[in-house]
Amino acid sequence: MAAVDDCIQCNVGKHSLRLATIHDLNLLHALDALLQEGSVTRAAARVHVTTPAMSRALGRLRDAVGDPLLVRAGRAMVLTPAAVALRERAHAIAIEANALLGPAPAAAVAAVERTLAVRASDAIVAVLAAPLCEAARAEAPGLRVRFVAEGDEDAAPLRDGRLDLDVGVIELDAPELRTRLLLRDRYAGLARRGHPITRGRVTARRYAGLAHVGVSRRGRWSGPIDAALDALGLGRVVAATVPDFLSALHAVATSDLVTAVPELLARHAARSLPVRAFTLPVDAPAIAIAMAWHPRVEADPAHRWLRAKVEAIVQRTARRT
């Protein structure tokens, strides 16, 4: 690609970063990701490049800025004072560059007549469906969204075009796919409004003494929460297993059963159903919610619109929770 005519420059005190080519704009996005995430690994996931590639970008940025930007503190990395000072300005310029160079103007999306297929769990669909359809009606009335249930996860539908976007816990063995981390979620407990567990301190022993609804597409009776309770010498009674989260929500809304669902869904459901979320008294694995797509649709206006809306909805819902 040809170089742009003007330079983008970040100035904070004596530190200056000059970016003069389209290739260098990739470096700007690497800088933004590093300063926002404070981690090479998470920054790499954010802009869907490998960790070694992000490490090389950090080296180039250190040379360009004249500051280490990220330094090790024990097992973690921390931002230098210069990096903290650059963070907001770099983020603003990255957003401005995207707006200037993005190939998907609103007019192009508004004229599209198309159906987009999105694979997601029922928990993700519950969060996305209404606001995504409302956005399409307002901005792209010719776009329709077809949600596809999770099943045997496979990259083939993304490769051959049967599927436009995969949203959820991405475990696809397909290195050519583009991925973007949307949210690091966790599990939360859920019970009906007025349930005794929603009053007072929720201890592991008190939690284990309740009757539970498990969620498993394969009908499994135990999982990470049981392993965490077992480590404390406790066990729980799983009265039933259901194949999806929405079934669990409705089961607990009308009974004394409790369940555990992703916090994003728990807080979303608490606004429309007679349920209350509570913090689990045991450590459960974090949930990395991401989206994946094939590189052939990277610059497609409708697909860019879809990815931007999905990310905005997830982030907005997370902030509300």
Q: Encode pLDDT of 139-170 as tens digits.
A: 989 989 999 988 767 888 888 888 999 998 88
DSSP element (H, E) containing 77: strand 76-79
Residues 177, 310, single domain; the answer is yes
Residues 121, 253, single domain; the answer is no
Classify the C-alpha dihedral 257-288-99-306 as positive or negative: negative
Residues 172, 241, single domain; the answer is no
Residues 69, 39, single domain; the answer is yes
In a domain, 3, yes or no: no
Residues 272, 295, single domain; the answer is no
pLDDT by 10s per residue, the chain, length 321: 333 333 444 554 445 455 444 456 788 888 988 998 899 998 888 777 889 989 999 999 998 888 999 998 888 889 999 999 888 888 777 766 665 555 445 557 888 888 999 999 888 999 999 999 999 999 989 989 999 988 767 888 888 888 999 998 888 777 888 888 888 888 999 999 999 998 889 999 999 999 999 998 888 888 889 999 999 999 998 999 999 898 999 999 999 999 999 988 888 888 888 999 999 999 888 888 999 998 888 888 889 999 999 999 988 888 765
- The answer to whether 276 touches 192, Cβ cutoff 8 Å, is yes
Residues 157, 299, single domain; the answer is yes
**Total structural domains in the chain?**
3
Residues 165, 293, single domain; the answer is yes
DSSP element (H, E) containing 195: none
The domain containing residue 192 runs over which residues?
Answer: 187-278
Residues 232, 262, single domain; the answer is yes
* Amino acid type, 182: L
- The answer to whether 166 touches 292, Cβ cutoff 8 Å, is yes
Residues 95, 111, single domain; the answer is no
In a domain, 262, yes or no: yes
In a domain, 2, yes or no: no
Q: Encode pLDDT of 6-45 as tens digits.
A: 344 455 444 545 544 445 678 888 898 899 889 999 888 8
In a domain, 291, yes or no: yes
Boundary-marking domain end, from 278, 296, 312: 278
Boundary-marking domain end, from 101, 116, 139: 101
In 169-286, where do the E strands start and end? 178-185, 187-192, 211-215, 237-242, 258-262, 275-278
Of the candidates 88, 291, 67, 62, the residue with the CA atom closest to the CA atom of residue 179 = 291
Residues 204, 266, single domain; the answer is yes
pTM score, two decimals?
0.63
Residues 230, 82, single domain; the answer is no
Which is it for strands 8-12 and 15-19: parallel, antiparallel or unpaired? antiparallel
Residues 168, 300, single domain; the answer is yes
Burial of 295 (0-12, 13-18, 19+ CB in 10 A): exposed
CATH code (residue 221)? 3.40.190.10
Burial state string for 64-95 with b = 16 or more CB within 10 A and e = fewer than 16: bbebebbeeeeeebebbebbebbbebbeebbe
